[in-house]
Amino acid sequence: MQNKTDLSKYNNSSYNPGKNVIVRILWYYINIIFFKNSFNTLNFTKVFLLKLFGAKIGQGVVIKPSVNIKYPWRLQIGNHVWIGENAWIDNLADVKIGDNCCISQGAMLLTGSHDYSKTTFDVITGEIILEDGVWIGAKSIVYPDIICKSHSLLGVNSVATKKLDPYFIYHGNPAVKISKRTVK
């Protein structure tokens, strides 16, 4: 799950999640009850709880049922963002989502992995940045340390293993540039 680049700058065998164990346990149960629960459709409650735990959330954010968010204190969401059912924001590192973005059903933003070249499987983390207007298609995956540039689109069931250029559509595993994206 890593590029063939120098990963030493991301390797952190003494990973720190950013909050103490009591806060993490409390969030774990709140995440189960209010976010991962498919019966909870109360969007304002989810936004309130994310802010309470340190997330920076813009206006007009919609978080559908069954969304899994690892650490809200490592999350920044812009205005008018839509996060679909069963999306997973596995943010061991910071995730920054710009304005007018869509994270479709079942998509995963994956900020962590393990160094498979070491017997200790040290944690490797890298932030994810989705610039304004990005659309992450259903059941797609964005790897750690990826920037999806303005209005890029990652097609259904695709895997972003490198930066996505602005105003282009990507598809496949690994995702390749397919065509220009025209936004009207």
| Domains within the chain, CATH numbers bracketed | 21-149 (2.160.10.10)
13 Cβ neighbours under 8 A, 6+ residues apart: 120, 122, 123
Q: Looking at residues 19-38, what average pLDDT do you find?
A: 95
Please, what's the b/e burial string for 9-34 (b: 16 or more CB within 10 A of its CB; e: otherwise)?
ebbeeeeeeebeeeeeeebeebbeeb
Write the pLDDT tens digit of every residue in 106-116.
999 999 998 88
On the question of a cis peptide bond just before residue 174, with omega within 30 degrees of 0, the verdict is yes
Task: Give the model's confidence band at 3: pLDDT under 50 very low, under 70 low, under 90 confident, else very high.
Answer: very low
Q: d(Cα 35, Cα 160) in Å, to the nearest integer?
A: 25
Contact assessment for residue 150 and residue 132, using Cβ atoms and an 8 Å cutoff: yes
